[in-house]
Chains A and B, each alone.
Chain A
Amino acid sequence: MWEGELAQEVWAYNESFPGPMIRANRGETAKITFKNNLPAHSIIHWHGLVVGTENDGQPQHAVHTGGTYNYDFEINQRAAFNWYHPHPHMMTGEQVYNGLAGGFIVNDSEEASKNLPAGKYEVPLVIRDASFSKSGALLYKPTSGGFLGQVALVNGTKDPYLDVDKAVYRFRVLNGANSRVFGLELSNGAPMHLIGNDGGLLPASTDMARIDMGNGERTDILVDFRNYKPGTKIMLRDARSGWDILEFRVGNTQEIPFYASLPISSDIEKLNSPVVTRTFSFDGMTKINGKVYEMDRIDWTVKRGQVERWVFKTNGNAPHPVHIHGASFQIQSRSGGRNRVFAWEAGWKDTVLLEDRETVTVLIRFDNFVGRYVMHCHKLEHEDMGMMANFEVVDQ
């Protein structure tokens, strides 16, 4: 489309758009140095990884151009598809949009025992939107309501296809868009077998015709291509925009054995008996409980090890994908709006989609670390305008 025209510039981690896929096992220790060669301050946040404050990559940790930041943390959590992205105050949206995002897969023995598809049959899909000039330059023109691009990109690829064998594939999907919510479905109406989300495997896997994903959310799905004729084309589609996102092209191959037994199940501790209830109103496009984010202000404290009930409300201007650092949570209820908790919201979550007129209740417990964390709207333009708050986890 833009052959022979101007250079296409992105902001990339290690010259890769999206960034390289980091993979590690539970119990291993990550030692990572972030080098900032951007013309702006930045810091990396490990979205979904529960780490201490100094390793969390919060706005106050941002380093200037030419600076470095060292991370050193044990990966002490269950298998899941996490991700990493910038988190500097007021600049996260622009930096993620320019290309700074990547996946971070954690594996563990429980997941390994499920015999899920691996190798070439385990494919990460980082889905986002973007707008381009005719010369191929990324265009970012955010508004207070967010930013919606004109085309979809998957793993940085526009109009992508994937040649697939007659096999079951595992797709680890991330909504890496700044503001766009995706409603994923297959063009032939075939089911996607949902096995996991932000926090890893679900209590029980299930077939889904459609999966909605807010910004920052992940889903883990199996798609069975074994029974299609060679040459069949199936589209992964966004039901909300009508976009065709990714074309699967079934090849003329031998059928690949599938060793997992469905449904996939996982024992997940159920949080209960909250001792504190807190209510957070996501107001307009810039505030939580009437306050715009200030980097040096702590808005509430939480006792470590204590189960709390957090209630998220909105007066409008949703969607507000609510993301909490420092712990995962379990969604208890949603009233108003869509008025239900969806299958992809079972188990552990770190981000939950709050639509207009909805009230979402979650249970959360901060087990691992004391220190300072943030909660914010993951519509990145909202976050940048101040829909974020600091809180502190303290010992009892």
Chain B
Amino acid sequence: MTTALQIVLFYVFGAVSVISAILVITRKNAVHSALFLILTLFSVAGIFLINGAEFIAAVQVLVYAGGIMVLFLFVILLVRLEGIEKQRDYQTQWWIAVPLAVIFIFMIGMMVQADKDYAIKTDRQVVSIETTTGQEVAGNVQEVGWILFRDYLLPFEIASVLLLMAMIAAIVLARKEID
């Protein structure tokens, strides 16, 4: 894509994600926070698209925004939250936390502006299919699939076991106690 489009899209998606992130953490109503989080996730997906990671963007929308957030919403509905409006929702320690975080972001900014060279040396030159096999690539999805199922098969399988475990654990933890 052209540079101008990149810049515009970056700033749009970036602004949306930051603003909605801020709104996520500041809303009293949990459902509002969840909805704003969904918006944030969508804009993050947009950023993924800008960087050419279409598969990741799709997965982000499907899994994150579609699965996890629905889960969040269900849990919010399960937990009855009447009376929460009368209570305070910010901790006492926000006096310390916010300045600390601001300091943190400044430091990161300083680190970034130090203009270091971010070339990371890797001994495995798994860069892209092009460099390894030398054939034409049909797109990001193919590339991801190729590398995922060839070089990183074992982590993939482990990830699936992990999901299984998580599923079982979630069921066990959340079920009603049998008297």
Bound together: no
Binding site for B on A (CB under 8 A): none
